[in-house]
Chain A
Amino acid sequence: MTKISTSTLRTTSVLFFVALTVAGLGFKTGGGTLCALGYRGIAAICPLGAIEAMLASRTLLPRALISLMVMALIATAFGRVFCAWICPTPTLRAWLLGKSRRVDTSLPSEDAADSGLRNSELHPEGKISKVSLDSRHVVLGGALLSTIVFGFPVFCLVCPVGLAFATIIAIWRLIQYNEPSWSLLAFPGILVLELVICRKWCRTLCPLGALISLLSSMNVFFRPKVDGRACLRIAKGLDCSACKSSCAEQIDLLHVQESQPIAECTKCRACADICPVGAITFPSIPGESDSR
């Protein structure tokens, strides 16, 4: 059976949301962009945008608040799926910079490391998630502080998601209304600068990702799980770390305690794809196939 690679599925999913926006441009659905996607009075608002709007205007906005709570629920249920499956930035990065992921494809050697890995360490979903604060959270704090001080949603100005959709809209308006402008160069220009100069945008700067990872700290479903009986490192003692080196979030599934917290997982499934024996799964309900 030929299996479609997960990265193709991810790109398709991202393009689906782009297509939704383009459909909105063509048919006046008012669907909006990823900044706020919705139908009539109902909208899924970007959680960062919702917080920024409330802080900047110093008012409680019911719709923004409800949307924020729904986003928190989604993050609890599915973790950071937005980052891998909806946000166009990783796809744009891959196009601009090429596949920058460093993947260790060398065959695992016989001299094995930790043979003392116990099964208890292989079920990250059983552990209490720790929240780690890094440079992205500093950017998030700075963005929110600046929003309070200056009274407008500051990060929205440079958000790569917003700029990507702004570029599409600028091109659309050029064609539909013959409306040439510097926006056509400025929006993609800033976007490319951000992604080329700050090559690790998602990992080190993105405040939206930081916010979603905070909301994901209680995530329970679809957590990656290693089958200890199949894993080359655990079962056969081989020095294989393909899953670790394929992870864009630098999560080491075999040493979750020491690596990035599992809340950072974007469910991109790169580890499951790279694993030579298919030992990694993303069970919808934790502990479902717990075979010990």
Chain B
Amino acid sequence: MLVLGGIGRATMSKDILRPPGGQDELNFISKCIKCDRCRSICPTSVIGAVHADESFLDARTPVMKYHIGYCNFCGKCVEVCPTDALRPFERKSAKIGLAVVTDRCIAWNSGGCTVCGNQCPEKAIAFDALKRPVVNSEKCNGCGLCEKICPALVLRSYEGGTLRGIQVRPARRMC
């Protein structure tokens, strides 16, 4: 058991996007018993489970899957979490992560696409003089709608891989 604990601790990953209220990773991983309730209740199906090949310690814990859904901060996952691994959050200040424009972005590569900026519920994506999206890190709360609707993989599928033109990543130093 001690060996198992040590291996688990050593393979701990700090770059997993948790559901809202679970951003303090040390607190989260100490309480999550992998019961699957948050993943099961999520109305937008954005919560998935970490797979065994991604991290041994984190396997079966919840992770945000922005290719499937986005977060509307309804708080149901927090309500059902039996061990308070997900803690109640303030709707206005909650941040899951931060959207980052990647090199797959259609607007940055060739222009013409404004899907993410038009849809962002927080109005956190502005366009520069050349109509390319720029994320306002203050406003972005990491809901992931931009990543979900980004058409880069549809329109530029020859690139290969699954990375979209905009991606939510864990923000450093969050409270």
Q: Which residues of A contact B (CB under 8 A)?
A: 21, 24-25, 28-33, 35-36, 38, 40-41, 43, 45-46, 49-50, 52-53, 56-59, 61, 63-64, 67, 139, 142-143, 145-147, 149-158, 162, 165-166, 169-170, 173, 177, 179, 181-183, 186-187
Flag whether B115 is at the interface (Cβ < 8 A): no
Q: What are the residues of chain A within 8 A of B4 when measuring CB–CB?
A: 146, 154, 157-158
Shortest A182–chain B CB gap in Å is 4
Q: Which partner residue on chain A sits nearest B4 by CB separation?
A: A154
A30 touches B59 (CB 8 A): no
Q: A182 to B68, alpha carbons, bound, how many Å?
A: 19
B26 touches A151 (CB 8 A): yes
Q: A156 to B57, alpha carbons, bound, how many Å?
A: 10
Given contacts A157-B8, A183-B52, is CB(A149)–CB(B2) below 8 Å? Answer: yes
Given contacts A53-B30, A177-B68, is CB(A40)–CB(B80) below 8 Å? Answer: yes
Flag whether B13 is at the interface (Cβ < 8 A): no
Residue contacts A-B, CB under 8 angstroms, 13 given:
A32-B36, A36-B37, A46-B33, A49-B83, A53-B85, A57-B30, A153-B31, A157-B8, A170-B51, A173-B49, A177-B68, A183-B51, A183-B60
Q: A63 to B81, alpha carbons, bound, how many Å?
A: 10
Flag whether B27 is at the interface (Cβ < 8 A): yes
**B79-114 near A? 1/0 per residue, CB < 8 Å:** 110111100000000000000000000000000000
Given contacts A30-B80, A32-B80, A49-B33, is CB(A186)–CB(B41) below 8 Å? Answer: no
> Which listed residue (A33, A49, A142) contacts B2, Cβ 8 A?
A142
Chain A interface mostly:
helix
Most buried by A among B43, B48, B83: B83
Given contacts A139-B1, A149-B5, is CB(A49)–CB(B35) below 8 Å? Answer: yes
Q: Which residues of B contact A (CB under 8 A)?
A: 1-2, 4-6, 8-9, 26-27, 29-43, 48-49, 51-53, 56-57, 59-60, 65, 68, 76, 79-80, 82-85
Closest 3 CB pairs of A and B: A30-B41, A146-B5, A186-B52
Q: What are the residues of chain B within 8 A of A146 when measuring CB–CB?
A: 1-2, 4-5
Q: What are the residues of chain B within 8 A of A177 when measuring CB–CB?
A: 48, 65, 68
B1 touches A57 (CB 8 A): no
Given contacts A139-B1, A166-B60, is CB(A182)–CB(B30) below 8 Å? Answer: no
A154 touches B1 (CB 8 A): yes
Shortest B154–chain A CB gap in Å is 16
Given contacts A30-B76, A67-B82, is CB(A153)–CB(B53) below 8 Å? Answer: no
Q: What are the residues of chain A within 8 A of B80 when measuring CB–CB?
A: 30, 32, 38, 40-41, 43
Q: What are the residues of chain B within 8 A of A169 when measuring CB–CB?
A: 36, 39, 49, 60
Q: What are the residues of chain A within 8 A of B33 when measuring CB–CB?
A: 35-36, 45-46, 49-50, 52-53, 153, 156
Q: What are the residues of chain B within 8 A of A158 when measuring CB–CB?
A: 4
> Which listed residue (A45, A53, A67, A186) contacts B59, Cβ 8 A?
A186
Shortest A185–chain B CB gap in Å is 8
Given contacts A153-B32, A187-B52, is CB(A142)–CB(B1) below 8 Å? Answer: yes
Q: A181 to B5, alpha carbons, bound, how many Å?
A: 24
Given contacts A143-B1, A173-B48, is CB(A33)–CB(B36) below 8 Å? Answer: yes
Q: Which partner residue on chain B sits nearest A142 by CB separation?
A: B1
Shortest A216–chain B CB gap in Å is 22
A29 touches B41 (CB 8 A): yes
